[in-house]
Chain A
């Protein structure tokens, strides 16, 4: 066996190659497939139509998250017209295929990338795919997890493998320490601002360095979540003691992590990456996007730079305008990026004893899973949010994207803890500014984009 130093990526990839084709593609074994109702029924129905069974249904999971209603008392009805069909067809297809489904009213329901780690479905060293681009979130657990299309999901379920060209490797090292009030979201947005939304194309990205090691598992998920915004194939963090402590006792996780296998899941000293990026975490500030791509991100205190004219026109902010103080209409805390318990706690810390500005038309908290919701309620966070004027919802993707359900008049400006600020992402004509839950909370209080450290300092006095 070769003893040359290897990257974590190479270790996981090589261990999963079942064969290599004459044309150079690897047939890579897929350990877990996750589906949701927006794209899952398509894949399962198409498989059934072609008479191909799911070869190992025990390793395929599905959840209803994208278009489910998030209002209390919900059922299969969706605000999106015709959305109910996606739910009922996914349910029927999941049942027929024999896969595990976390249904609308299940205690385990939630957003795919929140539920999978929560239940220990994703594991260090495993390969996990889902027909959802933010599957890379789950790389936070030390897995190789990535988004695919529906045809590839069918392929994985029917054959147990995917035919893949080996990607290149990149390491993004965050040195130093994050300042107070600065989070994993700001790390991701800083990476995008500096290296562009296409910066990771063709690469599997390992996030490393002291500032990454210092992040808790939930924050690592926030960072890995936006690897797809960086055009990376996947983003991941090497598992460590925190990872194994997080997974211990979770439903689908192994009883123990003491096999030598787990200890070797790290990049060897001296291993070479195809590309390296280094960012000093101590330079990072609370970030917010000004435009229509996640790379259009600046520190909250900074001015809008010159970008594509189309982005300025859509968002209604000209170069030179300051982000801080830009009035907003809607505040949203939710999504697979930033709706876990730690996110809600940090937002609640800012909102405690405060109220959203009268100019805010809607303020919404949508927990990432029903388990997160229960845990938050156990700590009384729901009461903090409600007292501050936020609505407290059931779990789902909700306002993270617009499927024809809830939205606002064109031109409305939202501050959102989500990951995409594309034109129309939250509804036709909606102007989305993405930021950390702290920035969302502080901005909701002030009615305008605000650096959360301003309010944190106030609270400390």
Chain B
């Protein structure tokens, strides 16, 4: 196996008395697509947010691209290498789509305005909405906003992309457009950790599925194995609920 790009070792994270992540460990190789599924409140989103230190962990170790996230001298440098896509898009509402994508390029990557704009237009074309460059987020549909958010993350040339339920706030007819963008990204060999219940995406793109509940791993396997022959009773229960 090639060198691992994400190593999560025995991570714990609590909010007050609520234990969100409990003794969680996982490893992700470059180019791998890992999907985390599980009941809501199971700690999936929290875990994802621990990976780029949006949530500082209580115990354990997280190493991204050879650097420890928890005691990095400059966390911003690491975060620039980790793109993140949020459930509620979190576009900057006071900026046009293009400016949303150029802002961090200019002030974090120190690219010139022209260079940043060229990359932004390229990314907007890639997510399929090049004509929306001068729209404000409020003028875009949910699906379009999420695609701008993906373009914004990709424009930083991250080594890893984290997706936190990217389609769960979207209307059904908007979901496919976003999933197609994610599928393309997976095919290109992007390392992805995805929290999502989109089974179509899981079957098409996931190298590995992790079922998470009560903050730890219930079961972990390839999608084929997991969906046809789950070993754990908890997995079977959960899958029967989401597969109908």
Verify that A and B bind, or say they do not.
no
